């Protein structure tokens, strides 16, 4: 639980809009305005106004819940932010090195488990001989999903490096 001092400092150093945005873009499941307001320490009407603005900015998407509109990060916005973060402070060679590191991690899972995908590894986990084996395979499959997503981002960043950074590609 966040201390009152922490909340007060957060409120002192971040605007209500920034607090609503920081909560809303990190939800893993769509949430209602009242829940986001509570977590952002703002009034519900304030949260609704800021959430609507974030929807108009294509930062959030809305879905209809049973009793309220629900808000979640827009996947395209999230992907573009991840690409921007990935490119920040990295040149093309750094991205190629990162790609190799990520590929190597996937190859280790493939070799260790004889699996060609996280889904197949989850299927194997269902037939593991021990509870620890099941847990280890599920963890590996979850990590593999994350690495696979990151690898796709890195490959996108490499392929479109000059477009994203405005730099000219190095001669081959």
| Tens of pLDDT, residues 66-107 | 889 999 999 999 999 999 999 998 999 999 999 999 999 999
Phi-psi sector, 62: left (phi>0), alpha (psi -120 to 50), beta:
beta
Tokens 């996937």 — which residue?
106
Alpha carbon distance 148, 118 (integer Å): 9
pLDDT digits (tens, 9 = 90+) for 135-151: 999 999 999 999 999 99
- Could you tell me the pTM of the whole model? 0.74
DSSP state letter for 67: S
Q: What is the pLDDT of residue 73?
A: 97
CA angle 144, 148, 149 (to 5 degrees): 120
Instruction: Note the helical H segments in the chain.
Output: 4-13, 16-24, 33-40, 44-56, 75-87, 92-113, 118-125, 131-159, 161-165
pLDDT band at 166 (very low <50, low <70, confident <90, very high): confident
Residue 170 is predicted with a pLDDT of 58
Alpha carbons 142 and 119: distance in angstroms, whole number: 9
What per-residue confidence (pLDDT) applies to 169? 58
Looking at residue 6, what is its pLDDT? 86
Average pLDDT over the chain reads 92
Q: Would you place residue 132 in the very low, low, confident or very high pLDDT band (cuts 50, 70, 90)?
A: very high
**Sequence-ordered list of residues with C-beta below 8 angstroms from that of 11, at least 6 positions apart, any chain:** 19, 41
Nearest to 72 by CA among 21, 31, 103, 102: 31
Residue 23: pLDDT over 70? yes
The answer to whether 95 and 151 are in contact (CB under 8 A) is no
pLDDT of 1 above 60: no
Question: For residues 119 and 148, what is the distance between their CA atoms, to the nearest angstrom?
Answer: 12
């Amino acid at each position: 639980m966040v201390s009152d001092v922490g909340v007060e400092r957060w409120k002192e150093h971040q605007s209500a809009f920034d607090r609503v945005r920081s909560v809303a873009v990190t939800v893993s499941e769509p949430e209602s305005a009242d829940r986001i307001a509570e977590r952002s320490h703002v009034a519900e009407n304030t949260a609704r106004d800021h959430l609507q603005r974030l929807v108009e900015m294509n930062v959030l998407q809305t879905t209809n819940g049973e009793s309220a509109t629900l808000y979640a990060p827009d996947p395209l916005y999230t992907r573009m932010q991840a690409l921007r973060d990935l490119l920040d402070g990295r040149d093309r060679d750094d991205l190629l090195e990162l790609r190799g590191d990520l590929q190597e991690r996937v190859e280790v899972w493939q070799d260790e488990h004889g699996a060609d995908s996280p889904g197949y590894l989850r299927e194997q986990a269902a037939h593991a001989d021990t509870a620890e084996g099941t847990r280890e395979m599920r963890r590996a499959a979850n990590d593999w999903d994350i690495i696979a997503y990151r690898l796709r981002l890195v490959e996108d960043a490499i392929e479109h490096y000059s477009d994203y950074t405005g730099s000219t590609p190095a001669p081959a």
